[in-house]
Amino acid sequence: MAFDWKLLVAVSRFQYSQALDSGMGEALLRSALSRAYYGAFCYSRNYARDWLGFIPRYDAEDHGRLRAHLKKSKRWKVSEKLERLRDWRNECDYQDELTFDVDSALGPASKRLITFFRAWLRPPPNRSYRYLKSPMSQLFHQVAEEADGIEILALAQERGVGGLGEVIGVNRT
């Protein structure tokens, strides 16, 4: 089964919730923003590949190529959001000092990513899409709507997913 990249956003939200009560706050926030970007980027890449004729090379140049392809495909908002997230991600991953408040940026951004997946990158009508129909994808949407942070784990376990490793696709049996 293909990995469901939206689950990285769930991991990002979990890290964000842990950062608020941790001595590793900034490190967790930086990591959470990075996970949010990669979840959004890879989901968008696969959507564009499956529905918009994008041919990924699976290399670093795909980041810019995808944004350009999305603009040509009249997905300007998606392209702009990906660009902003990538700029923040690059800063979080490479700079000692940040020019923005990662806490203020990440909180609203992680919640808006749910809209990002549901509204801006919907498959065309009357077509099936494997990521939206997968049980893990459905679980992600339920959990994202009902919980933040540590509650993600409790809800996932309650619904039959055995912990964060399985939620993010690590513990495959």
Helix residue spans in 52-97 (DSSP H)? 62-72, 76-94
CA-based nearest residue to 122, from 159, 80, 78, 82: 78
Find, among 7, 30, 2, the residue nearest to 161 by Cα.
7
Q: How distant, in Å, are the alpha carbons of 6, 19, 29, 107 from that of 140?
A: 7, 21, 21, 18
How much of the chain, in percent, has pLDDT values that exceed 70?
A: 62
Q: 147 pLDDT exceeds 50?
A: no
**Band of the pLDDT at 123, cuts 50, 70, 90?**
low
Q: Which domains does the chain have, with CATH numbers?
A: 7-130 (1.20.120)
Sign of the alpha-carbon torsion through 144, 146, 147, 152:
negative
- Does pTM surpass 0.85? no
